[in-house]
Amino acid sequence: MTDDLPFAPLPVRRVETSPHLGPPPPDRWPATVPAVAQLLGDGLDLGPATVLVGENGTGKSTLVEAIAMAFGLNAEGGSTGAMHRTFTSESTLHDHLSCRRGPGAPRWGFFLRAETMHSFYTYLDEVGMG
């Protein structure tokens, strides 16, 4: 993978197990989830667009949430400055991950979650701003 792409540097080029904390126990959730076990074992190289596919329950959402949180984003969605919480449902997997950033890439980001946007638009409708 090269960083000489015709657009801005990738915010995150690779996600891997943190060299400081190491992986979570392999016999406990979320390390028992197939996609998580794969990431913890091999890491994940990211490109300009990365697509995760798989059956329900294989860990796609768990991975995306953990990567977002390891990058410094809120698991519920929003920008790097938005740290609101309506409920805690995410794992501590993000503590065990390290994001390798692209050279010169900004540290700002945005995690777009369908559930969060739906809740936001519902709220706007309820307060008469929708």
Residue 81 confidence class, pLDDT cut points 50, 70, 90: confident
Evaluate whether 41 touches 15 at the Cβ level (below 8 Å): no
Torsion sign (Cα): 118, 88, 78, 25 = negative
CA 26 – CA 9 distance, rounded (Å): 33
Pull the structure tokens for residue 55: 């059956």
**Model confidence, pTM:** 0.78
Q: What is the pLDDT of residue 105?
A: 85
CA 59 – CA 44 distance, rounded (Å): 14
Among 18-32, 42-56, 70-84, the range scoring the smallest mean pLDDT is 70-84
CA 31 – CA 38 distance, rounded (Å): 9
DSSP state at residue 14: E
Alpha-helical regions (H) of 10-82: 34-42, 60-71
Angle in degrees, CA 107, 17, 83, rounded to 5: 40
Domain residue spans of the chain = 14-126
